[in-house]
């Protein structure tokens, strides 16, 4: 239901709306069909009454069934969410996806999305269970937009262009919030909207905020953060996540015949893809390292070569041989001491 302003002198059914001076504007609703007789009578006798004091108040107008729609009802509820009871909020968020689905996506994105993507809404448990999987998943070949709403399946509300323009900026701003529930919701759906973000935004603003979760005392937060980092590797590259000092540790034991077949079937990534763009950023430089973790990211030593690896193995082998010789010497000395303490008895002829 769209709204418009109509000037004095507009006629409906051959009868002018009013006879007041020119320049006065009436706020009306455009109805999708023919105005009913009762509605027309109400407008003519009540809303267009010559006496301004006899006209209905705004509250009375909004109570009329033809003045109400889902967009205004949802916006009104979200604006007064703090005064609602928990049962009212649970019922509202459980039914909200089905109410949003038939609405025009652009109307939802422009008027309702800024009211929904707030820390206050993201703390609601029912919203996390019922709403975000539909709202934070843009339409794609994997999740197409459906004609009818199915609560058992993901039903996206926006296409990628609309989602990128309206939702992505709000989500990037929410990443700056350190509320536990807000961060968990964003990490759960990070893989859905990060492919639509520019690489500069991912590296410059989103990735540093994601890395903060590794220092939290909650194991669930750390677990969700590590999963999100794994999804970001394909977008920003492994060098950006773990640093540039890396070496080939695992060897490929695939037979040569199979390698030739795999190389023919695989296509190289395009020159402009995230994997082909070098990045000197080492995002984990501030993380404390334990003995079980990888070596420091920044190091003055050059990456190990095959000769360095061979020398390291030779040194390790010599150390093992030296420790084995020392162990044998200690064992022989111990046996010598025992033989002196317990002499062998003489045989009786």
Query: Which has the higher per-residue pLDDT, 72 or 84?
Result: 84
Write down the pLDDT at residue 11.
37
Query: Which has the higher per-residue pLDDT, 158 or 342?
Result: 158
Write down the pLDDT at residue 260.
60
Percentage of residues in the chain having pLDDT higher than 70 = 70
Query: Which has the higher per-residue pLDDT, 59 or 138?
Result: 138
| 249, burial (CB in 10 Å: exposed 0-12, middle 13-18, buried 19+) | exposed
Which of 49-63, 101-115, 255-269 has the least mean pLDDT?
255-269
Which of 25-29, 65-69, 240-244 has the least mean pLDDT?
25-29
Q: Read off the pLDDT band of 270 (50, 70, 90).
A: low
Write down the pLDDT at residue 294.
41
Closest-CA residue to 118 (of 67, 60, 75): 75
Mean pLDDT of 66-71: 80
- In this structure, the chain runs to a length of 349
Mean pLDDT of 261-281: 51
Closest-CA residue to 167 (of 135, 203, 208): 135
Q: Which of 33-37, 262-266, 267-271 has the highest mean pLDDT?
A: 33-37
Helix ranges, 14-54 (H): 37-42
Q: In this structure, what token pair is assigned to residue 236?
A: 């920003």
Write down the pLDDT at residue 264.
59
Integer Cα distance of 184 and 205 in angstroms = 17
Domain boundaries, the chain: 3-67, 70-244
Closest-CA residue to 97 (of 160, 162, 32, 146): 146
Which tens digits make up the pLDDT trace of 157-174? 999 999 999 999 999 999
Q: Which residue has the tokens 């006629």?
A: 11
Query: Which has the higher per-residue pLDDT, 319 or 177?
Result: 177
Other CB atoms closer than 10 Å to residue 58's CB: what's the count?
9
Which tens digits make up the pLDDT trace of 215-249? 999 999 999 999 999 999 999 888 888 877 778 88
Which tens digits make up the pLDDT trace of 101-160? 999 999 999 999 999 999 999 999 999 999 999 999 998 888 888 888 888 888 889 999
Q: What is the dihedral of CA 176, 180, 185, 188, to 10 degrees?
A: 100
Task: Kindly report the pTM of this predicted structure.
Answer: 0.59
Contacts 24+ apart (CB under 8 A), 299-305: 299/245, 303/245, 303/246, 303/247, 304/247
Q: Read off the pLDDT band of 267 (50, 70, 90).
A: low
Closest-CA residue to 48 (of 27, 67, 79, 69): 27
Which tens digits make up the pLDDT trace of 284-293? 444 443 433 4
Task: Indicate if the pLDDT at residue 19 is higher than 50.
Answer: no
Write down the pLDDT at residue 61.
82
Write down the pLDDT at residue 222.
95
Which tens digits make up the pLDDT trace of 88-100? 999 999 999 999 9
Local structure of 283: helix, strand or coil: coil
* CA torsion through residues 231, 232, 236, 240, sign: negative
Other CB atoms closer than 10 Å to residue 54's CB: what's the count?
9
Other CB atoms closer than 10 Å to residue 112's CB: what's the count?
20
- Quick check: 196 and 138 in contact, CB under 8 A? yes
Query: Which has the higher per-residue pLDDT, 225 or 19?
Result: 225
- Quick check: 49 and 55 in contact, CB under 8 A? yes
Integer Cα distance of 250 and 64 in angstroms = 71
- Quick check: 243 and 284 in contact, CB under 8 A? yes
Q: Classify residue 348 by its DSSP letter.
A: P
Percentage of residues in the chain having pLDDT higher than 90 = 36
Integer Cα distance of 97 and 155 in angstroms = 9
Query: Which has the higher per-residue pLDDT, 339 or 20?
Result: 339
């Amino acid at each position: 239901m769209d709204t418009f302003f109509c000037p004095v002198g507009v006629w409906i059914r051959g009868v002018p709306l009013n006879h007041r001076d020119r320049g006065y504007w009436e706020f009306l609703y455009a109805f999708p069909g023919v105005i009913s007789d009762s509605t027309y009578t109400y407008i003519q006798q009540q809303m267009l009454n010559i006496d301004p004091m006899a006209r209905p108040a705004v509250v009375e107008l909004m109570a009329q069934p033809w003045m109400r729609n889902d967009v205004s009802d949802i916006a009104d509820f979200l604006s007064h969410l703090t005064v609602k009871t928990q049962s009212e909020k649970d019922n509202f968020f459980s039914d909200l996806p089905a109410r949003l689905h038939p609405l025009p996506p652009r109307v939802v994105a422009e008027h309702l999305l800024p009211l929904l993507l707030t820390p206050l809404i993201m703390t609601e448990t029912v919203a996390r269970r019922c709403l975000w999987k539909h709202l934070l998943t843009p339409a794609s070949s994997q999740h197409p937009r459906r004609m009818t709403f199915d609560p058992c399946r993901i039903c996206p509300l926006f296409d990628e262009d609309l989602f990128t323009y309206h939702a992505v900026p709000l989500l990037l701003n929410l990443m700056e919030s350190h509320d536990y529930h807000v961060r968990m919701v964003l990490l759960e759906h990070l893989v859905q909207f990060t492919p639509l973000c520019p690489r500069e935004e991912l590296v410059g603003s989103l990735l540093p905020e994601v890395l903060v979760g590794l220092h939290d005392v909650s194991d669930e937060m750390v677990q969700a953060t590590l999963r999100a980092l794994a999804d970001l590797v394909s977008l920003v590259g492994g060098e950006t996540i773990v640093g540039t000092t890396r070496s080939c540790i695992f060897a490929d034991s695939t037979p040569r015949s199979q390698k030739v077949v795999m190389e023919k079937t695989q296509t190289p990534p395009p020159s402009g893809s995230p994997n082909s763009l070098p990045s000197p950023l080492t995002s984990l430089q501030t993380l404390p390292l334990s003995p079980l973790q990888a070596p420091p990211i920044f190091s003055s030593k050059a990456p190990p070569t095959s000769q360095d690896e061979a020398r390291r193995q030779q040194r390790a082998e010599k150390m093992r041989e030296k420790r084995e010789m020392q162990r044998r010497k200690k064992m022989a000395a111990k046996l010598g001491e025992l033989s002196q303490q317990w002499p062998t008895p003489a045989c009786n002829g």
